[in-house]
């Protein structure tokens, strides 16, 4: 049971952390719970589908279909987060004002929620499909059902608890800095996803590694420890990065920050006001 | 609108990657998974060049090839063969394992 629980926890953890950051980043937007819930539900359905068609996906594109698929969904999530971050840079102030004054609702439309729904769904789908395959393999190998159910339950609860702890921690950030903090965190999540996508494309032989292992900090902090994995999900920590991962990471940061700066500026005065 | 543009991006990226996937030939090495074990358990590969690993899972259950040292992770579905590129590696030992059957599925890549 312990082994099963630990593996499920590891699969659930990253998705759980990303859900927490998204839930915090959408604070004050009406209906966010429903949207995030929908994202999780869509992700679970997607995970079951991906697991069911794992064979077809793996053998697609001459044996590298999995990497192409993973890199594509990761980059889609990066685009969605970038879009949200740019959107927040021009709407964040209104949200803060709303959260400070009780009662009034900010009508911001559902666009930012739709973008983040996709991010949540992708996070759940990616980690979930591996968990589903693992459980299937265990069941097929004749694992005890009680062990399996208890292990899966414990793993999911553990992962959810860590996500909840992160959310509670984020809520302690003073309101003045709150959306700046969650926006930067989302930015780093996106950069980490872009780097991970790059690693998949190197693994598929599509991109050159540009230095297969730039450095190795696994002795300092393994990215397969609980803390290392948390940092992996939140800021894209990788103990043994390839050069191209770094390139993807920083290009993503630069593009999103530029977008935020350009769109976050106060609107120019309407003609005639010069 | 946001979802539609997400799908457009998704397909554009898929297409680009598929087109660019037609690459050069690398030296190929084979690993077989049978009864939740890797064969061979020690695989010699040349250092300093990109290599292609073909992993053939002959079991009826899926496995996940994983190596911390190689920074690689990939599901190998039941009765399927997948491809994974590694390197160029520095000379040394690079352990790998099957994440779904950690007790038995272990091996090491030796780059010389």
Q: What is the pLDDT of residues A114-157, one digit of tens each?
A: 889 999 999 999 999 999 999 998 888 888 889 899 999 999 99
Going by pLDDT thresholds of 50, 70 and 90, the confidence category of residue A173 is very high
Instruction: Nearest by CB to A206, from B17, B81, B99: name it.
Output: B17
User: Which residues of chain B are within 8 Å of residue A242 when distances are taken between CB atoms?
Assistant: 71
* Mutate which: A4, A54, A55, vs B, most B CBs within 10 A: A55
Does residue B9 have a pLDDT over 70?
no
pLDDT given at position B105: 95
Q: Which residue in the block uniquely carries the two structure tokens 């499909």? A: A129
Q: What rounded mean pLDDT belongs to chain B?
A: 86
Q: Which residue of A has its CA nearest to B12?
A: A72
What average pLDDT does range A209-214 have in this prediction? 90
pLDDT confidence of residue A108: 57
CA-to-CA dists, residue A94 to A23, A99, A103, A176, angstroms:
18, 9, 14, 12
pLDDT above 90 covers a percentage of chain A that reads 63
- Give the pLDDT score at B12: 66
Q: Average pLDDT over chain A, rounded to whole?
A: 88
ipTM of the complex: 0.80
Q: Report the side by side order of strands in the sheet with B42-45.
A: B42-45, B106-111, B92-98, B63-67, B72-76
Band of residue B93 on the pLDDT scale cut at 50, 70, 90: very high
Q: B4 falls in which pLDDT band (50, 70, 90)?
A: low
Decide if pLDDT at A15 tops 50. yes
Q: How far apart are CA B41 and CA A111, in angstroms?
A: 52
Confidence of residue A30 (pLDDT cuts 50, 70, 90): confident
B8 or A182, which is more confident: A182
Chain A CB within 8 Å of residue B98 CB: no
pLDDT tens-place string over residues B21-52: 445 578 999 999 999 999 999 999 999 999 99
The model's pTM is 0.85
Return the higher-pLDDT residue of A168 and A90.
A168
* Contacts with A, B 42-61, CB within 8 Å: 50, 52, 54, 60-61
Three-state helix/strand/coil letters over chain B? CHHHHHHHHHHHHHHHHHHHCCCCCCEEEEEEEECCEEECCEEEECCCCCEEEEEEECCCCCEEEEECCCCEEEEECCCEEEEEEECCCCCEEEEEEECCCCCCCEEEEEEC
The answer to whether B61 contacts A68, with C-beta atoms less than 8 Å apart, is no
Average pLDDT, stretch A69-74? 95
pLDDT at B53 over 70: yes
Predicted confidence at residue A272, as pLDDT, reads 44
Residue bearing the bigger pLDDT, A61 or A158: A158
Range B3-28 average pLDDT: 63
What pLDDT is stored for residue B11 in this prediction?
62
CB-CB under 8 Å, B78 with A72: no
Q: What digits encode the pLDDT tens for the residues B78-90?
A: 999 999 999 899 9
- Higher per-residue confidence, A155 vs A212: A155
Q: pLDDT at position A273, please?
A: 40
Average pLDDT over residues A46-51: 94
State residue A91's pLDDT score: 75
Contact (CB, 8 A) for A77 and A126 = no
């Amino acid at each position: 049971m312990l082994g099963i629980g630990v593996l499920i926890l590891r699969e659930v953890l990253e998705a759980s952390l990303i859900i927490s950051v998204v839930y915090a980043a959408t604070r004050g937007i009406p209906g966010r719970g429903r949207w995030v819930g929908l994202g999780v539900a869509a992700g679970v359905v997607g995970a079951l589908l991906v697991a069911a068609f794992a064979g077809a996906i793996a053998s697609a594109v001459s044996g590298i279909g999995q990497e192409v698929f993973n890199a594509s969904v990761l980059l889609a999530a990066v685009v969605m987060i970038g879009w949200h971050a740019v959107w927040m840079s021009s709407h964040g102030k209104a949200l803060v004002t709303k959260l400070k004054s009780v009662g009034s609702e900010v009508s911001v439309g559902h666009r930012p929620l739709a973008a983040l729904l996709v991010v949540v769904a992708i996070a759940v789908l990616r980690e979930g499909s591996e968990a589903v395959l693992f459980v299937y393999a265990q069941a097929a190998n004749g694992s005890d059902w009680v062990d399996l159910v208890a292990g899966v339950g414990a793993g999911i609860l553990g992962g959810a608890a860590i996500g909840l702890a992160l959310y509670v921690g984020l809520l302690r950030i003073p309101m003045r800095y709150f959306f700046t903090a969650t926006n930067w965190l989302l930015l780093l999540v996106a950069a980490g996803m872009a780097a991970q996508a790059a690693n998949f494309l190197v693994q598929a032989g599509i991109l050159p590694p540009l230095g297969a292992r730039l450095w190795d900090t696994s002795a300092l902090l393994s990215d397969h420890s609980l803390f290392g994995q948390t940092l992996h999900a939140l800021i894209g920590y990788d103990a043994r990065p390839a050069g191209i991962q770094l390139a993807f990471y920083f290009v993503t940061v630069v593009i999103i920050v530029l977008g935020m700066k350009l769109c976050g500026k106060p609107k120019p005065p309407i003609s005639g006001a010069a | 609108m946001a979802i539609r543009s997400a799908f457009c991006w998704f397909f554009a990226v898929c297409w680009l990657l598929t087109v660019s996937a037609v690459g050069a030939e690398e030296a190929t090495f084979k690993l077989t998974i049978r009864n939740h074990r890797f064969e061979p358990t020690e695989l010699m590969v040349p250092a300093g060049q990109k290599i292609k690993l073909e992993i053939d899972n002959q079991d009826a259950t899926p496995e996940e090839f994983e190596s911390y040292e190689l920074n690689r992770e990939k599901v190998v579905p039941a009765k399927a063969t997948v491809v994974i590129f590694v390197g160029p590696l520095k000379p040394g030992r690079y352990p790998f394992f099957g994440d779904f059957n950690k007790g038995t599925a272990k091996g090491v890549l030796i780059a010389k």
